[in-house]
Structure 1
Amino acid sequence: MGKYTLFMLNPWKEDDKGPFYCPDCGVVEGFFAYSPQIRQKIEIVLVDYPRPRKLVVESLGAENQGCPVLVLDDAAPGFEGTKKSFSTGKTFIDDARLICDYLGAVFDGVKPHP
């Protein structure tokens, strides 16, 4: 099984508009609440809101800085909805719901109600 890196935005951001969070990252956090054992099986990297997001750019290129994003390696099983970075050639999933579906399938975690 391949290495998985999940880039997530820091869970809490405060500025002159008040405190806020990333709704898509919240969906993935909710998945981990139901399948906490999966959190230990992947690398989770928290990044700050402002762009450029250096670590994400190094992995996927400047055109793919959105979060959350799950980066797969070549040994990871395929899945409908994956994308490939033109800059680095790495495969990734940048949709929160698909990230949850993928992790649930690969690690036998909770799956959404049909």
Structure 2
Amino acid sequence: MKDTLCLLAPGFEDPAYPGKTFYCWHCALMEGVLASFPELAAKLDVRRIAWPKPRREVADLLGEENQSLPVLVLAEGGFIDDKDLILAALTERHGFAHPHP
């Protein structure tokens, strides 16, 4: 089993802000890292999830209370839902370059 990186699919609408289209900047950051290292990204199961809740695919993996994205679901169990810790895990677990301080 691979680690699974769940990201919000860009271009979503939020009814609280009519007429506007959005992206999650944390997810966009992850997308940029994945695009920069496609050979490493191919070793992950990357899923782009629609914005509205319930996010059934995420809830099925982590439970109803854990639907925030981005999230890295670890192959051996557990998950990381902090952008900086996800980036660190991509470096440590999968060989992605380090983010420059």
What TM-score, normalized by structure 2, do the two folds share? 0.85
| Structure 1 residue runs without a partner (length 5+) | 75-89
Give the residue type in structure 2 aligned to 1:51.
K
Identity score, percent: 41
1:44-102 deviations in Å (ceiling 9; x for gaps):
1111111110010000001110011110122xxxxxxxxxxxxxxx4001012211111
**Cα distance, 1:31 vs. partner?**
1.5
The residue that corresponds to 1:51 in the other structure is 53
Q: How many residues align?
A: 98
**Cα distance, 1:14 vs. partner?**
3.9
**Cα distance, 1:17 vs. partner?**
3.1
- Asked if the contact 1:10/1:46 (under 8 Å) is kept, the reply is yes
Give the residue type in structure 2 aligned to 1:3.
K
Does residue 1:113 correspond to 2:100, yes or no? Answer: yes
Give the residue type in structure 1 aligned to 2:65.
E
| Structure 2 residue runs without a partner (length 5+) | none
